[in-house]
Amino acid sequence: MHLNVFACIRTMKREYSYTMETKIDTRAKLILEVDKGDTLANVLRRHIADDILDGTRPPGTRLDERSLAEEFGVSRTPIREALQQLASAGLAKSKPRSGTVVQGIEPGRVSSLCEASILLESLCARLAAKRITAIELGRLKKTHAACQTCHEEGDVDGYALENRRFHSAIIAATQNQDLVDTVEFCRLRIAPYQRTPFKSSAIREASQVEHKKIIDALESGDSDFAERAIAEHLKAAAIAIDQHLQRS
């Protein structure tokens, strides 16, 4: 009897130790991603979105702030911000008395977000071709180089982050803050769907080629060329997202 009790206690200690080690490891990974220059809310949104898109958190699953905060080892404030972002993207929904729950993916909604992104960023590229400064162009090239490094190292999270920086740099080069705010809001809503396709080395490679074409267009000052280059790039990204969702 006593042996069974002691055995049970030892098992409980091992399980507790494993749970704590897992939480510490998860927390460390989150801090590392934040240290790369992203916000904690964005990092949390990506992790939860990945779980939703790969089926780990199926439609109807309750996304409880307290449980998620405990799971990731963070406070409830960034969790709340992450859930708001997921709701804006259509991946979660707030229900009376049920809190926030995972919502089934609506292909039409994703298609609408992709279309809006293509139209808005094409306009940004057109304006940026005439307004981008030499310093901004230099920074864009450095970001492109950082993307290449992440691609070669197979760093999907790093590539996704540098890819966002690449697009944000082009948007900022419009020198139009109202347009920047509008486009970034749209990009925030589509962001949960964009990361997973980058797990494919072929997609990252193609994306790099397209990025170089966009840089060349901006450097030449050709608005039509810049608009076409980024539109083709974003259409390819939309196709990759659609194909992934169909496989999910």
| Distance between CA atoms of residues 160 and 241, nearest Å | 14
Residue 73, SS3 per DSSP: coil
| Distance between CA atoms of residues 53 and 44, nearest Å | 14
Q: Which fold has domain 2-102?
A: Arc Repressor Mutant, subunit A (1.10.10)
The model's pLDDT over 34-80, given as tens digits with 9 standing for 90+, comes to 655 678 998 898 889 888 877 789 889 999 999 999 999 999 999 99
What are the boundaries of each domain within the chain? 2-102, 107-247
Residue appearing with tokens 């992450």: 82
| Distance between CA atoms of residues 24 and 142, nearest Å | 33
The model's pLDDT over 177-197, given as tens digits with 9 standing for 90+, comes to 999 999 988 888 888 888 889
| Distance between CA atoms of residues 198 and 9, nearest Å | 45
Q: Which fold has domain 107-247?
A: Four Helix Bundle (Hemerythrin (Met), subunit A) (1.20.120)
Inter-residue contact 121 to 228 (CB < 8 Å)? no
Is the whole-model pTM more than 0.85?
no
